[in-house]
Amino acid sequence: MKTNHRNTLVILSKVAGIGWFVAISVSLFSFIGFLLDNQFSTKPFFILIGVLLGSLVAFTGVVKLLKKINNK
């Protein structure tokens, strides 16, 4: 029973990290886009690219994590 409880906690901790992973990915790429927009005066082009890239990175990371959790 203890191992089952421990496995459940490990899975829950990984799933809880998904929200942070998504938020950090999108925020980081958006911030880089913001800096590039300020550098090249191209608002909002690079911010939009940053949001899209951050979302893509977050989506692929979430899919990989969920596949890893599902295989266990």
Question: Could you list the pLDDT tens digit for every one of the 72 residues in the chain?
Answer: 577 888 888 888 888 889 899 999 999 999 999 999 999 999 999 999 999 999 999 999 999 988 887 886
Instruction: Tell me if 29 sits within 8 A of 57, measured CB to CB.
Output: yes
Tokens 């899209």 belong to: 52
| pLDDT given at position 7 | 83
53 Cβ neighbours under 8 A, 6+ residues apart? 29
Residue 64's pLDDT is: 92
CB atoms closer than 10 angstroms to residue 11: 13
pLDDT of residue 1: 52
Instruction: Give the DSSP per-residue string, 40-67.
Output: HT-TTHHHHHHHHHHHHHHHHHHHHHHH
Q: What is the pLDDT of residue 34?
A: 97
- What pLDDT was estimated at residue 57? 97
Cβ-contact 69, 15 below 8 angstroms? yes
What is residue 55's predicted lDDT score, i.e. its pLDDT?
98
